[in-house]
């Protein structure tokens, strides 16, 4: 954990270590509030503001990503920074990771063919909204 922080150019403070560890063990794509609840069980003096600041520094350093969720809801975070997409279920508010190399290749080919005026894409992540089938 300490190594991940220092490799990203961040000081490995006790607070950052506890926040990063919590982010990594919480299932799915937790909110800052969910991370804070887990952190507070171990370190009750860490404020929600500190958790937000740490998560923002993790995003800036490339240790985690912010994930779009429902309009007006809390920010969600994804500790998996590999290229993948997100399926957002409007019924359950669940965010599901989705990997499809064939889709990725189609997108790369599309932009290689068409290009984007004055823009060179390096990576991409789709956010697909729908309803998860039950069953």
Residue set of the binding site: 89
The Cα 80–Cα 61 span in angstroms is: 13
- The DSSP code sequence of 10-62 is ----HHHHHHHHHHHHSSSS-BHHHHHHHHHHH-TT--HHHHHHHHHHHHHHT
DSSP state of 116: B
Known binding site for Zn(2+): residues? 89
């Amino acid at each position: 954990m300490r190594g991940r922080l220092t490799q990203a150019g961040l000081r490995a403070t006790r607070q950052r270590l506890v926040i990063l560890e919590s982010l990594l063990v919480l299932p799915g794509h937790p909110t800052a509030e969910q991370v804070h609840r887990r952190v507070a069980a171990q370190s009750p003096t860490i404020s929600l503001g500190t958790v937000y600041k740490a998560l923002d520094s993790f995003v800036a350093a490339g240790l985690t990503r912010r994930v779009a969720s429902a309009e007006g809801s809390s920010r969600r975070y994804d500790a998996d920074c590999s290229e993948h997409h997100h399926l957002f279920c409007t019924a359950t508010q669940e965010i599901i990771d989705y990997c499809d190399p064939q889709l990725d290749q189609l997108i790369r080919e599309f932009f290689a063919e068409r290009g984007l005026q004055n823009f060179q894409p390096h990576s991409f992540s789709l956010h697909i909204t729908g309803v998860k089938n039950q069953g």
